[in-house]
Amino acid sequence: MDHSVRRQVTDRALGPAPEAAVPAARTVSGSPGLCSVRVAAEVLTRPVRRRGKDLENAIFAATLDQLTSGGFARLTMEGVAAAARTGKAALYRRWASKVELVVDALDSTLPRPNGVPDLGSTRGELLQLIEVFAGAMNSRAGSAMQVLMGELDHEQAQLFKDFIVQRVVAPTTETILDILRRGAGRGEVRPGAVAPMVADVAPAMLLYQVKIRGRENMPPDYAFRLVDDVLMPMIRA
């Protein structure tokens, strides 16, 4: 058997030669681990592959965080995308502008101030509704709304004001009217109190508390005091 054939047989028997050991990566100072650090940094900054509702929730949370920390003027689609750890294109596929994004973020986050069930008690129903409203004003979305109304120019402020009226104030007022009608049917509410102006009192006082006096000054029992000290004496039969 000549030398070349003998070498082929030996190679088949032994298998492929082991690869040469790769020396550990070193930093400029000679410390090992630079490649590992770079890989970790890339992983931490790499966009997370979220889809559907998970991605939407991450974008909305980042939008509200950017609003409350830096205001509307400093909010950018790029900043929201970076905070949500996604690509900017993912935002622009759905929202043409940051105004549309902010409106959707608020709409998805704020609780719906309607659908209070018949609890058999006007006081109980009013209290449940007002606690929902107060909770919304004390939430991250409520903070974002305050920031918006405090810094926008007239045209944009009007747009967001219309959103707040249609999404929060009007449904709350209509729900209070429903509660008052049920209360009148049970004999708890005088018929003359079933009126839009009476229904406006609760949201007006809540907005005054948040906008003028500040959320931080809202007493923890504010909803109870509003119901027991203001609304019930005003509507009681």
**Distance, CA of 75 to CA of 107 (rounded, Å):** 18
- Among candidates 73, 69, 62, which has minimal Cα distance to 105? 62
Pair (128, 205) in one structural domain: yes
Pair (124, 142) in one structural domain: yes
User: How many Å is the maximal CA-CA distance in the chain?
Assistant: 116
DSSP β-bridge partners for residue 189 = 236
Q: 17 is written with which tokens?
A: 């030669």
- Among candidates 153, 159, 154, which has minimal Cα distance to 106? 159
At 166, is the secondary structure helix, strand, or coil? helix
Which range marks the domain in which residue 63 is found? Answer: 52-100
Pair (75, 145) in one structural domain: no
- Among candidates 203, 214, 215, 217, which has minimal Cα distance to 169? 203
Per-residue pLDDT of the chain (237 residues; tens, 9 = 90+): 444 444 443 444 444 444 444 444 444 444 455 555 554 445 445 545 556 788 999 999 999 999 988 888 899 999 999 999 999 999 999 999 999 999 999 998 888 777 788 999 999 999 999 988 887 777 778 778 777 777 766 667 778 888 888 888 899 999 999 999 999 999 999 999 999 999 999 999 988 887 777 767 778 888 999 999 999 999 998
Q: 181 is written with which tokens?
A: 């009608």
CATH code assigned at 150: 1.10.357
